[in-house]
């Protein structure tokens, strides 16, 4: 079993410009599953429980820091981009000599914490560890050169490699771990005598060998874990891998995923038994799906708790809502933040609910807006009903008590209260409280004008 170092410091290199992205957005802020690439790497680093995380930033640095301002990391500026070795030099001065330093990359988002756990278990005062990958096409990668006894000797970058070295399929991922004291010593000896005129971090491998420090290579199980993102094509490839892996996790947990290629999981999803997810479902943020929950096609579920037996029909959007058991929602429904539905609530097609609490057994099945409302149990809200909650400055609440029946096309002008078992006649505009158990109707008098004629267009000559 692998063991983490007692004192681990993580250095994340995130200063690259990313010209191939052809985007004003810095490369490490490009989105993967709705979160910046760098955010994924920081989260992985944090799972290792380090004493510190140092992010080396450069191009677009102010924007990077602003987007990730809530992250508890140390920001280290690399004003000039002179290579990976130079980038690590900027952070090395902040590391304690006794720390084990782990080097990660802000554009390599899929490395698993379990893989890094294993890597760290082979690094210490007399050994460093290196994450490598076997590639069918190693073009562009630094090659890992071993001796006749399969011991790692050095890493040679593509542009500096001989023809024989270019035939090597084992490649450097860039991820490595070693004692910080050793790292600092090697960094002080780096030079830029190479075709790029840069300070290569990979040169520390040969220095370690020369100093008698064992280099422990660890070949990553899946090449996808060390995929880097340099352009939009690679970003899409990484997104596909991420989507596939998350779908697999759900299926292993017992979820029926109709098409794993057409689902997006962009957060932390907890599931019960016999959950069913149709095509093109997007799950974002913190999502909890209880037993037998069914989500229809083309739905977006964001930061929601959905209790057992509830079905969400196609093309619905649920955002920061809490939904009780055995509810029916949609199709084409929208639940906005701070909406709470109790057991057996029906929210139908083209119904929008915002900041409202709806008690058990109530229904709003068609073409309705319920905003800033408190709705009791077994209430029926007719088609075309609107709670008029906003006067242009203030938002006011509508209260509808148990058993009330709201006729179609009603306007409830808040603040207003509809009493228990009250009935509102269709087409009413209610501006005053409606008493319980009574029929309240508020309509203009219907008039027919016999002499009126519909206007007609004049024909052009």
pLDDT surpassing 50 at residue 1: no
Kindly list the distances between the CA atom of residue 420 and the CA atoms of 358, 373, 416, in Å, as whole numbers in the listed order: 14, 15, 13
258 part of a folded domain = yes
Which pLDDT value is given to residue 196? 83
At 6 the pLDDT is: 67
Rounded Cα distance, 296 and 235, in Å: 28
CA–CA dist 265, 249 (Å, integer): 10
148 CB-side CA count, 13 A = 0
Residues 221 and 297 in one domain: no
Same domain, 176 and 287: no
353: tokens are 């609910």
- Percent of the chain scored above 70 by pLDDT? 99
Task: For residue 334, list its beta bridge partners.
Answer: 317, 352
Whether 5 shows a pLDDT value over 70: the answer reads no
- Average confidence (pLDDT) over 380-403: 97
> Is residue 310 a contact partner of residue 329, using CB atoms and an 8 Å limit?
yes
Residue 332 resides in a domain: yes
pLDDT for 4: 63
The CATH number for 424's domain is 2.160.10.10
Same-domain pairing of 154 and 298: no
Burial of 34 (0-12, 13-18, 19+ CB in 10 A): middle
Strand partners, 128: 215
User: Cα dihedral angle (279, 237, 40, 8), rounded to 10 degrees?
Assistant: 140
The CATH number assigned to the domain holding 153 equals 3.90.550.10
Do 185 and 278 share a domain, yes or no? no
Q: Which of 59, 94, 122, 366 is catalytic?
A: 366
Q: Could you tell me if 202 and 297 lie in one domain?
A: no
Residue 174: pLDDT band with limits 50, 70, 90: very high
Q: Is residue 453 part of a domain?
A: no
Residue 338 lies in a domain: yes
- Residue 223: predicted pLDDT: 94
Percent of the chain with pLDDT over 90: 89
Looking only at Cα atoms, what is the longest distance across the chain?
107
Same domain assignment for residues 54 and 89: yes
Residues 312, 392, single domain; the answer is yes
- Can you tell me the distance from the alpha carbon of 338 to that of 356, in angstroms, rounded to the nearest whole number? 7
Q: Are 404 and 387 in contact (CB under 8 A)?
A: no
Whether residues 63 and 192 fall in one domain: yes
Q: How far is CA 135 from the centre of its chain?
A: 29
Q: What is the pLDDT of residues 401-415, one digit of tens each?
A: 999 999 999 999 999
Mark whether 297 and 354 lie in a shared domain: yes
Domain of residue 405 covers 249-440
**Is 366 one of the annotated active-site residues of the chain?**
yes
What values do phi and psi take at 100, rounded to 5? -90, 125
Average pLDDT of every residue of the chain: 95
Same-domain status, 283 and 215:
no
SS3 sequence, the chain?
CCCCCCCEEEEEEECCCCHHHCCCCCHHHCEECCEEHHHHHHHHHHHCCCCEEEEEECCCHHHHHHHCCCCCCEEEECCCCCCHHHHHHHHHCCCCCCCEEEEEECCCCCCCHHHHHHHHCCCECCEEEEEEEECCCCCCCCEEEECCCCCEEEEECHHHCCHHHHCCCEEEEEEEEEEHHHHHHHHHCCCCCCCCCCCCCCHHHHHHHHCCCEEEEEECCCHHHHCCCCCHHHHHHHHHHHHHHHHHHHHHCCCEECCHHHEEEEEEEEECCCCEECCCEEEEEEEEECCCCEECCCCEEECCEECCCCEECCCCEEECEEECCCCEECCCCEECCCEEECCCCEEEEEEEEECCEECCCCEEEEEEEEECEEECCCCEECCCCEEECECCCCECCEEECCCCEECCCCEEECCEEECCCCEECCCCEECCCECCCCEECCCCCCCCCCCCCCCCCCCCC
Q: What's the total number of domains in the chain?
A: 2
Closest-CA residue to 306 (of 281, 272, 280, 333): 272
Planar angle of CA 142, 9, 174, nearest 5 degrees: 5
Nearest-CA neighbor of 348 among 324, 387, 304, 384?
384
Do 174 and 263 have their domain in common? no
Tell me whether residue 234 is in a domain: no
First and final C-alpha spacing in the chain: 93
Q: Quote the CA–CA distance of 321 and 334 in Å, as a whole number.
A: 10
Encode pLDDT of 185-240 as tens digits: 999 999 998 878 889 999 999 999 999 999 999 999 999 999 999 999 999 999 99
Q: Which pLDDT value is given to residue 59?
A: 75
pLDDT tens column, 22-39: 999 999 999 999 999 999
* pLDDT at residue 178 in the model: 96
């Amino acid at each position: 079993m692998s063991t983490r170092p007692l004192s681990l410091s993580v250095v994340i290199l995130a200063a690259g410009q990313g010209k191939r992205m052809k985007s004003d957005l810095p490369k490490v802020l490009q989105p993967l599953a709705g979160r910046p690439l760098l955010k994924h790497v920081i989260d992985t680093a944090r799972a290792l429980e380090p004493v510190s995380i140092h992010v080396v930033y450069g191009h677009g640095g102010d924007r990077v820091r602003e987007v990730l301002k809530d992250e508890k990391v140390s920001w280290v500026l690399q004003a000039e981009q002179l290579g990976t070795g130079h980038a690590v030099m900027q952070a090395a001065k902040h590391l304690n000599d006794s720390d084990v330093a782990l080097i990660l990359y802000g554009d390599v988002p899929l490395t698993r914490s379990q893989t890094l756990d294993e890597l760290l278990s082979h690094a210490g005062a007399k050994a460093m560890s290196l994450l490598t990958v076997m590639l069918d096409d190693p073009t562009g990668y630094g090659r890992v050169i071993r001796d006749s006894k399969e011991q790692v000797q050095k890493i040679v970058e593509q542009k500096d490699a001989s023809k024989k070295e270019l035939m090597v399929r084992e490649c450097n991922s860039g991820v490595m771990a070693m004692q910080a004291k050793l790292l600092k010593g090697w960094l002080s000896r780096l030079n830029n005598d190479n075709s790029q005129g840069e300070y290569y971090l990979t040169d520390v491998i040969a220095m370690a060998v020369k100093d008698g420090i064992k280099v422990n290579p660890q070949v990553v199980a899946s090449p996808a874990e060390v995929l880097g993102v340099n352009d939009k094509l690679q970003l899409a490839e990484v997104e596909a891998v991420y989507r596939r892996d998350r779908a697999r996790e759900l299926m292993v947990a017992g979820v029926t995923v109709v098409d794993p290629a057409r689902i997006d999981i962009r957060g932390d999803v907890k599931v019960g038994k016999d959950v069913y997810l149709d095509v093109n479902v997007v799950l974002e943020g913190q999502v909890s799906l209880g037993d037998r929950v069914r989500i229809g096609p083309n739905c977006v579920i964001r930061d929601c708790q959905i209790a057992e037996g509830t079905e969400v029909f196609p093309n619905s959007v649920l955002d920061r809502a809490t939904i009780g058991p055995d509810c029916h929602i949609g199709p084409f429904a929208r639940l906005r933040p701070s909406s709470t539905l109790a057991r057996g609530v029906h929210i139908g097609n083209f119904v929008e609910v915002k900041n409202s609490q709806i008690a058990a057994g109530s229904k709003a099945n068609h073409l309705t807006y319920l905003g800033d409302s408190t709705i009791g149990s077994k209430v029926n809200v007719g088609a075309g009903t609107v709670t008029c909650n906003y006067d242009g400055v203030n938002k006011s609440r509508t209260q509808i008590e148990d058993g009330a029946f709201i006729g179609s096309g009603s306007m409830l002008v808040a603040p207003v209260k509809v009493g228990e078992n009250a009935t509102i006649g269709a087409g009413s505009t209610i501006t005053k409280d409606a008493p319980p158990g009574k029929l309240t109707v508020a309509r203009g008098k219907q008039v027919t004008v016999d002499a009126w004629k519909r206007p007609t267009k004049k024909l052009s000559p």
